[in-house]
């Protein structure tokens, strides 16, 4: 089932001097029609879906019929029992992008148009590459300045 979502990058933060919460790619459903009459917030509104930016392995355009297209992704996917591997997205195939995590999960998003998809893919790749390059090179101060909130969050946020 296709879901309309808000997607954003959440800055990380320090819980204390030695513990940090990593920056994340996060999203939540916008439309939740089954909850409108109940005056209740949906699960993803209260607890958005998320994946750590450090866990992003690949971000790419899904081109229909091309090498690396939807058919090839599902054929070579290691988790054939997952829904993403068995169904085609109910989206404009020219506007689809895929985020693959190092944990083996795939997340499929649709942009408004192919041009927007290309910009999103480029910016997300640059964002994650810069974050990881700071971490690998030991440039912790720049990483904290660019990707984390400066102040401590007492106790942090549960579940993150």
CATH number at residue 73: 2.30.29
Look at residue 85 in the predicted model and tell me its pLDDT: 41
The pLDDT, as a whole number, for residue 44 is 54
Nearest partner of 24 among 48, 51, 44, judged by Cα: 51
pLDDT: is 81 or 112 the higher one? 112
Does 107 map to a domain?
A: yes
Concatenated DSSP letters for 73-101?
Answer: HHHT-S-TTSHHHHS--SS-GGGEEEEEE
Within-domain flag for 156: no
CA distances from 109 to 59, 65, 103, 119, 140 (A): 11, 18, 18, 13, 31
Domain count, the chain: 1
pLDDT at 117 > cutoff 80: yes
In a domain, 159, yes or no: no
Q: How far apart are CA 62 and CA 117, in angstroms?
A: 10
d(CA 55, CA 36): 34
Mean pLDDT of 84-106: 74
Could you list the residue range(s) of the whole structural domain that residue 122 is in? 5-151
Q: Give yes or no for residue 40 having a pLDDT over 70.
A: no
Residue 120 inside a domain? The answer is yes
Mean pLDDT value across the chain: 76
Question: Tell me, what's the pLDDT at 80?
Answer: 44
- Residue 39 confidence (pLDDT): 57
Q: Is the pLDDT of residue 37 over 90?
A: no
Whether 115 is in a domain gets the answer: yes
Least confident residue range of 53-62, 123-132, 141-150: 141-150
Q: Which of 30-34, 107-111, 115-119, 126-130 has the lowest mean pLDDT?
A: 30-34
Give the tens place of pLDDT for each residue, 58-71: 999 887 766 656 66
Residue 41 lies in a domain: yes
Is 160 among the domain residues? no
User: In sequence order, what are the residues at sequence separation of 6 or more whose Cβ sits closer than 8 angstroms to the Cβ of residue 50?
Assistant: 10, 24, 25, 26, 27, 160
In whole angstroms, what is the distance from residue 29 CA to residue 45 CA?
7
Are 70 and 88 contacting, i.e. CB atoms less than 8 angstroms apart? Answer: yes
In a domain, 158, yes or no: no
């Amino acid at each position: 089932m296709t879901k309309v979502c808000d997607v954003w990058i959440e800055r990380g933060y320090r819980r204390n001097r030695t513990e940090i919460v990593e920056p994340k790619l996060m999203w939540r459903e916008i439309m939740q029609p089954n909850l409108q009459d109940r005056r209740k917030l949906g699960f993803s509104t209260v607890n958005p879906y998320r994946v750590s930016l450090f866990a992003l392995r690949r971000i790419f355009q899904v081109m229909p019929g091309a090498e690396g297209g939807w058919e090839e992704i599902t054929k070579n996917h290691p988790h054939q029992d997952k829904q993403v591997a068995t169904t085609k997205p109910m989206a404009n195939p020219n506007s689809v992008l895929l985020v693959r995590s190092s944990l083996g999960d795939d997340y499929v998003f649709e942009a408004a148009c192919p041009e927007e998809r290309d910009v999103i893919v480029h910016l997300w790749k640059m964002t994650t590459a810069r974050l990881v390059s700071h971490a690998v090179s030991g440039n912790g101060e720049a990483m904290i300045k660019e990707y984390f909130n400066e102040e401590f969050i007492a106790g942090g946020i549960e579940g993150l």
